[in-house]
Amino acid sequence: MSCRNTNAPQTTTFLCYRSFINSSPLQLSKYTIPKTAISVKPKAGNRESATSAGNHHVLALDSNHDVWAWGKNEFGQLGNGTVTSRGIPLRVKTNSSTYLTDIVYIDAGFEHSLAIDKDGNIWVWGRNSHYELGLGDLLPCLYATPIPE
């Protein structure tokens, strides 16, 4: 997936080029389809400030330091507590009722994601089959989880 953003006064639009393999809308191949626009309607004055594309998912950091995610979610890499893929941006959560906030850096890995907050804490979520989350176990995380010090 390749993405770029365009900013309008009231929305942030990510133009994503998606491809298909075996008729799956979230996997890449040599066959591409026309671009589709995905709009995030943030709070007043809030605009996207960074994006990162993983294997089949995208993270966006807005100017309020909130993290949004969309795409394939087989291992919880969207950080919303589910393994349901999403075609629209949803905010990343730390549990079922709390959103990840005060983030200054994001990065989308192969099937996992990470963020760093303003205090330097590292938050991770998603696939963890090769210890990529740094939590000392092999369990996937469906919510953003801080790496212990």
Distance in angstroms (rounded) separating the CA atoms of residues 65 and 72: 23
Has residue 23 got a pLDDT over 60?
no
Is the pLDDT reported for residue 102 higher than 70? Answer: yes
Over residues 123-145, the mean pLDDT reads 96
Q: How far apart are CA 122 and CA 70, in angstroms?
A: 20
Q: What is the pLDDT, as a whole number, of residue 7?
A: 43
Give the mean pLDDT of the chain. 78
pTM of the model: 0.71
Is residue 78 within 8 A of residue 64, CB to CB? The reply is no
Instruction: Give the pLDDT confidence of 31-74 residue by residue, as tens digits.
Output: 233 333 344 444 445 555 789 999 999 999 998 999 999 999 99
Please state the rounded mean pLDDT for residues 24-32: 35
Q: Over 60: is that where the pLDDT of 24 sits?
A: no
**pLDDT at 94 > cutoff 80:** yes
Q: Is the pLDDT of residue 1 over 50?
A: no
Q: What domains lie within the chain, and their CATH numbers?
A: 43-146 (2.130.10.30)
- Return all residues near 108 (Cβ < 8 A) that are at least 6 apart: 52, 53, 54, 57, 58, 59, 77
> Which tokens in the block code for residue 136?
């000392």
- The pLDDT score that the predictor gives to residue 104 is 95
Query: Residue 101 in 3-state DSSP?
Result: coil
Look at 44 and 119; give whichever has higher pLDDT: 119
Specify the pLDDT at position 46.
52
The residue length of the chain stands at 149
Q: Band the pLDDT of 136: cuts 50, 70, 90.
A: very high
- The pLDDT > 90 percentage for the chain reads 65
